[in-house]
Structure 1
Amino acid sequence: MPTVLITGSSGLIGSESVHFFVQKGFRVLGIDNNMRAVFFGESASTDWNRQVLEDKYGERYRHYDIDIRDRTAIENLFQAYSTDISLIIHTAAQPSHDWAAKDPHTDFTVNANGTLVLLEATRQYCPQAVFIFTSTNKVYGDTPNYLPLQELETRWEIAPNHQYQAGIDESMTIDNSKHSLFGASKVAADVLVQEYGRYFGMKTASFRGGCLTGPNHSGAQLHGFLAYLMKCTISGDTYTIFGYKGKQVRDNIHSYDLVNAFYHFYQQPRCGEIYNIGGSRHSNCSMLEAIAICENIVGKKLQYVYTDDNRSGDHIWYISDVGKFRSHYPTWEYKYNLQQILEEIYYAQVSRQTS
C-alpha cells in the first residue's frame, strides 16, 4: 500500500490531503501538534478535525503528535516507514504576518528549520519520494504593490494589457522587497525545497499559493480570510477591514483543487519546481466583493469596522497566473468557483455549530 506523510494534517490543506489520498488507496501518516491553537487561540484549534479524521478512517490514518522541529522524532518516524513513504506533503506552518512579528524565533524555526528537518529526513530515508511544499505568494514580498493598479468601484485592478493581466507568474522577482518576517521565513523554506531538488536531484516542488480556503478552515482574524469572514457574518461578530478601502484583491483556491494539483505533480514529478497556484482569473474577489457574497448567502449584513492601517507588506492586488502548472499538467482543472467555495464554507460552519 503506498504511504503518504502529511504535516499539518489537521489543518485546511493537510486534512483535505488526508481525505483525498485515503480515497486514492493510500495509507496516511499525519503529523500535527495543534500549533494553530498556540498561534491564534483555542477558537482556531484543529483538534476537532483530527478527531474527524481518526473516527472516519481508523487504521488508514495514523496520527502523530509531533513538532516538525523535533529532529529526532521526525527522523525516527521516517526511518520506521522508510520503505513505504512515496509522498510527503508539507503543509505545517506558522501562517500569519502579524504573529511572526510578535515571535520571530518561533516563526522562523517552524517555517524554515522545520522544513529543513523534513527535507533532510526525506533525503536520508526515502530519497525517491516526492516532496511537495505549500509555499506562499508572500515570497514575492510587496513587489506586486508596485504594479500599475487602477481603483475601480469595488476593487483594485491591474492596468489593461499589462504582462500580468492574466495574473502574476513565476518570473516575478523575490528580491528587493518587504516580505514581512513570515514571508522571509517562507522564502527560506521555499528556496530549501528548490535546492534539495536541484542539488540532490530530489523530486520536490514549491506551490506558491494564493488564498487557500475551504470548509475545513479554522479561520481566525490573523489567518483564514474567507472562513473568518463567513464566521463573522453568521455570528454577528465585528469584522475588521485593514486598509486599501476594502478593495484589496485575492484569488481563492479550494483546498480540493490544490490537493488535486499535488496529485498531478505526484504522478509525473519533476525536480526543484516552483508553481504559482491559486484561484487565478477563475476565482478571485476583493474584500468588498467577498462581503457582499457572504451577506447574500447568510441573509444578513456583516458588522464591520474599517481602519486605514493596512498590514505591513500586505498585497493590494494579487491574482495567480497558473499557466506554468497547466502547461506541465494540462488535464488538471478547477472543480470550485468562488460562489461554490463560500457556500461550502457556510454550510460546513452551520453544520459544526448545530452538531
Structure 2
Amino acid sequence: MNKVVLITGSAGLIGSEAARFFSARGFRVVGIDNDMRAQLFGADASTAWNRERLIQDLPNYVHASIDIRDSAALEEVFRTYESVISLIVHTAAQPSHDWAARDPHADFTINANGTLNLLELTRRYCPHAPFIFTSTNKVYGDTPNRLPLEELDQRWEVASDHPYFQQGIDETMSIDGSMHSLFGASKVAADVLVQEYGRYFGLKTACFRGGCLTGPSHSGTQLHGFLAYLMKCAATGKPYTVFGYEGKQVRDNIHSADLIDAFWAFYEEPRSGEVYNIGGGRDCNCSMLEAIEICEQITGQNLNWTYSEQNRAGDHIWWVSDTRRFRAHFPQWTIRHDVASILEEIYAANYRRWLEVG
C-alpha cells in the first residue's frame, strides 16, 4: 500500500487542497469529513460538492464520514492504516467566533477534544508521522488591538516606527491577558495540546497560526470565509455586511496552495513542538474596503453592502503575519499569490456554481 496521509476536514478549503497535493505526489489520501460545516452554517456552507469532486477526481482518495469527537471511529481508521500512515494534516474545526458563543460546549469539544483524540491516536499508532495542525491567529486574542494603530483613508495601519511595521506580528506576542472569544479559547487549548505532544512525547508537531486562509475551494459564509463570501456576494448581488472599524480592518490572506506548500516543507524536514505564524504577510493583505474595491473591479458591478457599527467581539483591527520564523526554518518557501489574483481565481472557479445553487 502507498504511503497514507490522514486529512481531517478533507472536503474543506485547506483539507481538499492538501488532498489534491498529496494525491499528486503518490500518497493514498484518507479524508475524514462529516460535512459539519453544513450543520454549523447551513446548506450554503456545505462541502458536499467538494467531497464529490475529490471522490471523482482522485482515484487514490478514500472518504470517511467521521466526527472527530468520535474517538472509537477514528481509532478504527488509525488501526486500519497503522503501518503506512506517514502524515496527519488536521484542518477540521468549528471556525466561527459568533457560532462558538451560541454553543460553547460543541465548539470546545470539536476544537479541543477532537484534536486531543487525533494526537493520542497518532502517539499510539504512528508516532513517527508528522502532525500538522491548522491553528489560528485568534490564539493571541485581542492583544493586536493594543498596538499603536493609525487610521488611513482605506485601512488601519500599525505605526511606522513600531517593530511590527516592516514584517508583521511574530510568535513572541503573548496569548495571555486578552479576550479571545470562545472560539479563540478552544483553539488555544488545541494549539497548546499540539505543542505539548511535541515537547512532552517527542512527536513531530507543528501549529500553523494562520490569518485568513482562502482560495477557490472555500465554501464561504457570513460567519466564516472572508474573501470567498465577499466575492460570492459581489458576483451574485447578495447583500454583505461589514462589521465595525469603518471597514478599515486589515487581514492578511494566504492562498490554500501557498499554505500546503508550507505543509510539504514541514513534512520533508519535520520538527517537534513548533509554532509558526503563517499568512500572506506584507505580500498579501488588505482591508475590507480595499477588498470590496477589488471585487467590484473584477465583477464589474457594485457590491450591495451595509455597515454595522458593532464589531465582532475579540475581532482584530489589524493583523499581518510575520512569517520569518517559518522561512528561517524552510528558506525554500515563499508566497506566490496576492489578494487580486486570489479573488480573480475564486470568481473564475465558482461563478457558474453560485448562479446554479443561488
User: Is TM (by shorter chain) over 0.5?
Assistant: yes
What is aligned with 1:54?
55
Q: CA offset at residue 352 of structure 1?
A: 2.3
- Taking the aligned partners of 2:22 and 2:162, their CA distance within structure 1 comes to 39
Structure 1 unaligned spans of 5+: none
**% same residue:** 66
TM-score, structure 2 as length reference: 0.98
**1:37 offset after TM fit, Å?**
0.3
Q: CA deviation at 1:341?
A: 0.4
Please give the alpha-carbon distance, in whole angstroms, between the structure 2 residues aligned to 1:236 and 1:8. Answer: 29
Question: Match of 2:275, SS?
Answer: strand
What does 1:96-135 align with in structure 2 at a 5 Å threshold?
96-135=96-135
Question: Is 1:142 aligned to 2:138, yes or no?
Answer: no
Matched residues in 2 for 1:254 and 1:23: separation? 18
Residues 166-200 of structure 1, C-alpha deviations (whole Å, 9 max, x = no match): 10000000000000000000000000000000000
On the 8 A contact 2:138/2:180 being kept in 1, the answer is yes
Corresponding letter in the other structure for 1:107: D
Distance 2:262 2:110 in 1: 25
Matches within 5 A, 1:4-23: 4-23=5-24
Give, in angstroms, the shift of residue 163 of structure 1. Answer: 1.3
Aligned to 2:309: 308
Partner of 1:317: helix, strand, or coil? coil
Matches within 5 A, 1:258-273: 258-273=259-274
Matched position secondary structure for 1:301: coil
Residue 32 of structure 2 corresponds to: 31
Equivalent in the alignment of 1:88: 88
Structure 1 residue 162 and structure 2 residue 198: aligned?
no
Matching of residues 1-355 of structure 1 within 5 Å: 1-58=2-59, 60-165=60-165, 166-353=167-354
In 2: Cα distance, 1:78 partner to 1:254 partner: 30
Amino acid at match of 2:338: N
- Taking the aligned partners of 1:215 and 1:85, their CA distance within structure 2 comes to 28
Please tell me the residue identity of whatever aligns with 2:13.
Answer: L
The alignment partner of 1:150 has SS state of strand
How many residues align? The count is 354
**3-state SS, counterpart of residue 221 of structure 2:** coil
Query: Alignment partner of 1:330: what SS?
Result: coil
Q: Which runs of 4+ in 1 moved over 6 A?
A: none
SS at match of 2:228: helix
2:334 & 2:4 partners in 1: Cα distance? 25
Deviation of 1:161 (Å): 2.2
Alignment gaps of 5+ in structure 2: none
For 2:191 and 2:201, locate their aligned partners in 1 and report how far apart those are by CA, in whole Å.
Answer: 15
CA offsets per residue over residues 44-81 of structure 1, 9 Å max, x none? 000000000000113x0000000000010111110111
Q: What root-mean-square deviation, in Å, do the aligned CA atoms of Structure 1 and Structure 2 show?
A: 0.8
What code does the residue aligned with 1:202 have?
A: L
Q: Secondary structure at the match of 2:11?
A: coil
| Deviation of 1:354 (Å) | 6.2
8 Å contact from structure 2 (residues 232, 354) kept in 1: no
What is the distance in 2 between the residues matched to 1:93 and 1:221?
17
C-alpha contact 2:236 2:354 (8 A) present in aligned 1:
no
Letter in 2 for 1:120: E
Instruction: Check the 8 A contact 2:8/2:32 in 1, yes or no.
Output: yes
Give the C-alpha shift of residue 351 in structure 1. 3.5
Write the letter of the residue equivalent to 1:122: T
- State whether residues 236 and 355 of structure 2, in contact with CA within 8 Å, keep that contact through their aligned partners in structure 1: no
What do the CA deviations read for 1:231-278 (whole angstroms, capped 9, x no partner)?
000111110000000000000000000011000000000000000000
Secondary structure of 2:345 counterpart? helix
Q: Structure 2: which amino acid aligns with 1:205?
A: A
